[in-house]
């Protein structure tokens, strides 16, 4: 059982929804992003999604794109991101960490080396948005063999014919993308999301977590109420990008987490 599995089992036992927070590693610099990361669990975050900066983030909107560019301009690398996880693990051995990004940096490092280093650092799961199920042998299956969850995205265009393929090697949880398009582009609507989550849950026992288009505590509550939890990224990254003090960023996170947990 991974930390992700354990966290969702504990939340289910408590009758609580999960709150997942996304930040970009190295944004606006390594020290600040590590400080934010270390403060997330106390702010109510159940699972941390740590973005891996990449030069061509095709699924991300302007907010996340700019965060990745700031991180890259500041010298953030895959190694430094793994080092961040290792540093976090010195004081937190339980909060699950999912590394989210694109395949190119992992491929360049070498899959076997990356998986070994990620496991040692304390990464629990991966979301790699540009590797479809047809490419599971590239990373998904080796990751699972290494003891890491491989989390797959389902979208509004994932129909009943495609869904079993998406789910077949997914573990940890299913990430339901609530809107078509890029991150931060439009607001998620519970009336549309609820039936889709229910459809996915009929096909899997995994938790279904909803992301994209959630930027207020009220939205977090509404969306979490029709799923097993929600993910917020752009709304948090926007605060960081605006140069807000870490304490203010974490206060924003705490309000969003409280919204999700009240569902």
Annotated catalytic residues are 49, 60
Show the tokens assigned to 1.
Answer: 């059982």
Beta strands in 91-212 (DSSP E): 97-101, 125-128, 149-150, 153-154, 174-177, 208-211
For residue 132, count CB atoms less than 10 angstroms from its CB and return exposed for 0-12, middle for 13-18, buried for 19 or more: middle
Show the tokens assigned to 240.
Answer: 């960081």
For residue 85, count CB atoms less than 10 angstroms from its CB and return exposed for 0-12, middle for 13-18, buried for 19 or more: buried
Beta strands in 63-135 (DSSP E): 97-101, 125-128
Q: How far is CA 133 from the centre of its chain?
A: 18
- Taking each helix axis from N to C terminus, what angle separates 234-241 and 30-39, rounded to the nearest 10 degrees? 130
CA-wise closest residue to 227 among 258, 254, 188: 188
């Amino acid at each position: 059982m991974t930390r992700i599995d354990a966290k969702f089992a504990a939340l289910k036992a408590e009758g609580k929804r999960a709150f997942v927070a996304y930040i970009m590693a190295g944004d606006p610099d390594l020290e600040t992003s590590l400080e934010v990361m270390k403060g997330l669990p106390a702010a109510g975050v159940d699972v941390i999604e740590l973005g891996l900066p990449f030069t061509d983030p095709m699924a991300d909107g302007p907010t996340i794109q700019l965060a990745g560019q700031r991180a890259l301009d500041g010298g953030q690398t895959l190694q430094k991101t793994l080092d961040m996880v290792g540093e976090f693990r010195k004081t937190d051995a339980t909060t699950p960490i999912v590394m989210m990004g694109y395949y190119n940096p992992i491929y360049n490092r070498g899959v076997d080396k990356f998986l070994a280093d990620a496991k040692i650092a304390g990464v629990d799961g991966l979301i790699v948005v540009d590797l479809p199920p047809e490419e599971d042998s590239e990373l998904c299956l080796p990751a699972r063999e290494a003891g890491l969850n491989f989390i797959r995205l389902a979208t509004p265009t994932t129909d009943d014919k495609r869904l079993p393929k998406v789910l077949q090697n997914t573990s940890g949880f299913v990430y339901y993308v609530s809107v078509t398009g890029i991150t931060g582009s439009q607001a998620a609507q519970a009336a549309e999301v609820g039936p889709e989550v229910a459809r996915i849950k009929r096909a899997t026992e995994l938790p279904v977590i909803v992301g994209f288009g959630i930027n207020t505590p009220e939205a977090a509550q509404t969306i979490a109420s029709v799923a097993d939890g929600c993910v917020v990224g752009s709304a948090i990254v926007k605060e960081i990008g605006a140069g807000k003090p870490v304490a203010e960023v974490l206060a924003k996170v705490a309000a969003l987490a409280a919204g999700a947990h009240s569902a």
